[in-house]
Amino acid sequence: MVALPRYEGYGLTPLEGMACGLPVIASDTGYFSEFIVAQDEENSCGKIVPVEEYKTASRELIKLLSNEQRFKKFSKNALKQVAKNYSVLSEAMAINKVYEKLWSQK
């Protein structure tokens, strides 16, 4: 999946793609880099490119589509990342923590 907005807040579109097992190529905006790129490429779910660097994005897409092993690795990582950190349960727990923190400040 390719997501190249200039501006983005949280960015659900890449997460939805990742939940379907799609590697992501996205612009470096919003929180995309937080959930797409790992410390090493072996655990990443895709690639981040500079905003408005469409030629760079095109090159990354060609590299991804021409390397089946890399595509499958990113795909597997995307599914794992979403299941581990962005399931309904984990999102609900994160929201609950925010509310607990707010309530404790009263």
Task: List strands edge to edge, sheet with 2-3.
Answer: 2-3, 24-27, 46-49
In sequence order, what are the beta bridge partners of 57?
A: none
pLDDT value at residue 33: 86
Answer yes or no: is pLDDT of 39 > 80.
no
pLDDT value at residue 49: 95
Which range has the worst mean pLDDT, 6-15, 51-60, 74-83? Answer: 6-15
CATH number at residue 57: 3.40.50.2000
Helix count (H) and strand count (E) of the chain?
A: 5, 3
Q: Give the pLDDT confidence of 3-38 residue by residue, as tens digits.
A: 999 998 777 899 999 999 999 999 999 888 888 887
- Tell me the average pLDDT across 71-79: 96
In sequence order, what are the beta bridge partners of 48?
A: 26
pTM, two decimal places: 0.80
Count the domains in the chain: 1
pLDDT value at residue 99: 93
Q: How far apart are CA 90 and CA 27, in angstroms?
A: 25
Q: Residue 36: give the domain boundaries.
A: 2-104
Q: How far apart are CA 28 and CA 103, in angstroms?
A: 34
